[in-house]
Amino acid sequence: MGVMSTNLYYRGFNVRGSKIIFSSGSFDPWHILGITKDISKDLPAIFIKGEGHCSDLSERRDTDSAELIQAREKIFHILQKWLK
């Protein structure tokens, strides 16, 4: 009930806006309250299996998982498209 109540109270499922990327990882304790599935073309969600909070915002490392690399590439391509 806690997660559902929070999302209902803060309108977690009724996002108003556009060109927002929602990213989270499976080890991110906040992903339960986050948006993990695309809402629309301009409100995509990127869920990174095996990663934690803000992993996609960290600098690139040789030890980055394939999922993390793929997520960063997807984010980059989305941003490129939006900034054209």
- Helices then strands, counting H and E runs in the chain, come out as 2, 2
Q: Amino acid identity of 19? A: K
- Rounded to the nearest angstrom, the gap between the alpha carbon of residue 56 and the centroid of all alpha carbons in its chain is 9
Whole-model pTM: value is: 0.82
Cα–Cα distances (Å) from 55 to 17, 44, 68, in that order, read 24, 17, 8
Cα(84)–Cα(79) distance, integer angstroms: 9
3-state helix, strand, coil in the chain (%, to 5): 35, 10, 55
The pLDDT value recorded for residue 42 is: 95
- Averaged in consecutive runs of 10 residues, what is the pLDDT profile of the chain (84 residues)? 77 82 94 89 96 94 97 98 96
The pLDDT value recorded for residue 32 is: 86
Number of domains the chain contains? 1
The pLDDT value recorded for residue 1 is: 63
The pLDDT value recorded for residue 46 is: 97
Host domain of residue 74: 2-83
